[in-house]
Amino acid sequence: MSKKILIVDDEKDIVETLKFILESEGFDCIVAYDGEEALNLAKNESPDLIVLDVMLPKINGYKVCRLLKFDTKYKHIPILMVTARTQEEDKIIGEETGADEYVTKPFDIETLTKLVNKYLNIS
């Protein structure tokens, strides 16, 4: 059975690009365009991994990450934060919320794919 990845970003082109690439790697992808939708999907779909943007409508990525990572039912889900925010304090906030990785935009697709495979234990 293929692994399920939740892609969360408010930029449609980024979502479509990631979805296309990850699906071509054999993953099932579900998408959300805001933090509220992301939380609902994470809880209802139990994805194997989440690619999460920080700057989101409704609920920001930091808060989504914190809500999931501090809930025993969902804290096992790896979260890769992808963001245009490159400041050191942003990375620290990302780590404090429990993000497993903090990737800055523009990101290298190959790097992101390797991280996805690493967290899903696919070599």
Contacts of residue 38, defined as CB under 8 A and 6 or more positions apart, other chains included, come to: 6, 8, 32, 50, 52, 56, 59, 64
Q: Is the pLDDT of residue 123 over 70?
A: no
Count of Cβ atoms closer than 10 Å to residue 104 Cβ: 14
Q: For the chain, which domains are there?
A: 4-119 (3.40.50.2300)
Q: Is the pLDDT of residue 109 over 90?
A: no
- Would you place residue 29 in the very low, low, confident or very high pLDDT band (cuts 50, 70, 90)? very high
Q: Is the pLDDT of residue 97 over 90?
A: no
